[in-house]
Amino acid sequence: MNFSFQIYSPEEQIHDSKFEDKNISVYIKRDDKIHPFISGNKWRKLKYQLEEAKEQQINHLVTFGGAWSNHLLATAAAAAQFGFRATAYVRGEEIQNPVLDMCRLFGMNLLFVDRESYRNKEELFQRGHNPQTSYFIDEGGKSDLGMKGCAEIISELEQQYDHIFVASGTGTTVAGIQLGIAKNNLQTKVHSIPVLKGAEFLKNEFQSWNIDPKLITLHLDYHFSGYAKVKPDLIAFIKSFISSTGIMIEPTYTGKLLFGVYDLIEKEYFKPNSKILVIHTGGITGLLGHLQHFNR
């Protein structure tokens, strides 16, 4: 079975008078266009894990996430498209929302677990599933195979950049990008905008993957109080960005990412003539959990 889409992820320039004033050029890689539901880094992190599951003749995917998880929806859609069964352990009390409804439509079985039990995902998997017939996919698709898929972003690029920025949760995507930079012998500087508060832990993650943390610059001031948290200035920025570019972004990942890039440009972080690439990691359905903030 072929797990490859015809990848469509163009690099588009974002035009803004602020960039021209600073003599900076900004591009965005539209990984959100890869697939309506298995978009962005979600597809890249799943791709090789699906291949491995099929090679092992395993047809049941077991994964983990929160109630608004784009990863759960991507896994559910991928399972339906490529002939797997799918089960997800959902963190917290049982609720109903549009993302989980779509997961169910794709045939995913949802198991809600308390937050304490959720912390030990391996134990949940071992207790409820046979590893010979079920395939473990960590929260957010975090894995070495996920990094391998994300590294392919670099080989797709149509031009070279001085800086590449991506939002980070588990750190898998930015680690993969750094691996791709090294593989292609590029001098591009890699930057992460973590969406979690206290994301210094990512440095330890990079070390565990044999990546020098000094090669990835963490910008730790754009989490807006924590994962999936928002503030009025972030919402105002997202509304302005969408209406001026026609590119849909959301508050959990891509909104914080682009807010950070714009802020760093405003603060003259970059040298004149710098060329910046922002990776749009998809997950637009993340908007559904925040629509109330945009109607005020």
pLDDT of the residue at 291: 83
Domains in the chain, please, with CATH? 11-39+143-294 (3.40.50.1100), 41-140 (3.40.50.1100)
pLDDT of the residue at 4: 62
pLDDT digits (tens, 9 = 90+) for 66-107: 999 999 999 999 999 999 999 999 999 999 999 999 999 999
Any idea what DSSP says for residue 15? Answer: P
The dihedrals phi and psi of 69, each to the nearest 5 degrees, come to -70, 120
Distance CA 277, CA 27 (A): 5
**Bridge pairing between strands 109-113 and 85-91:** parallel
Distance CA 9, CA 13 (A): 13
Taking the model in full, what pTM does it have?
Answer: 0.95
Q: Tell me, what amino acid is at 265?
A: I
* CA–centroid distance for 98 within its chain: 19
pLDDT of the residue at 7: 82
Tracing tokens 């304490």 back to the chain, one arrives at 116
104, 78, 11, 281 alpha-carbon torsion, rounded to 10°: 50
| Strand partners for 64 | 89
Report yes or no: 227 and 216 within 8 Å, Cβ to Cβ: no
- What is the Rg, in whole angstroms, of the alpha carbon atoms belonging to the chain? 19
Distance CA 219, CA 287 (A): 23
Q: Which residues of 51-65 are buried (b: 16+ CB within 10 A; e: fewer)?
A: bebbeeebbbbbbbb
Question: What integer best gives the mean pLDDT of the chain?
Answer: 95
Distance CA 144, CA 3 (A): 18
Biggest CA–CA distance in the chain, Å, is 59
Report yes or no: 253 and 281 within 8 Å, Cβ to Cβ: yes
pLDDT digits (tens, 9 = 90+) for 236-257: 999 999 999 999 999 999 999 9
Q: Is the pLDDT of residue 52 over 80?
A: yes
Under DSSP, is residue 195 helix (H, G, I), strand (E, B) or coil?
A: coil
Which DSSP string do the residues of 191-202 spell out, in sequence order?
EEEE-STTTTHH
Q: Taking the CB of residue 47, how many other CB atoms lie within 10 A of it?
A: 22
pLDDT of the residue at 288: 86
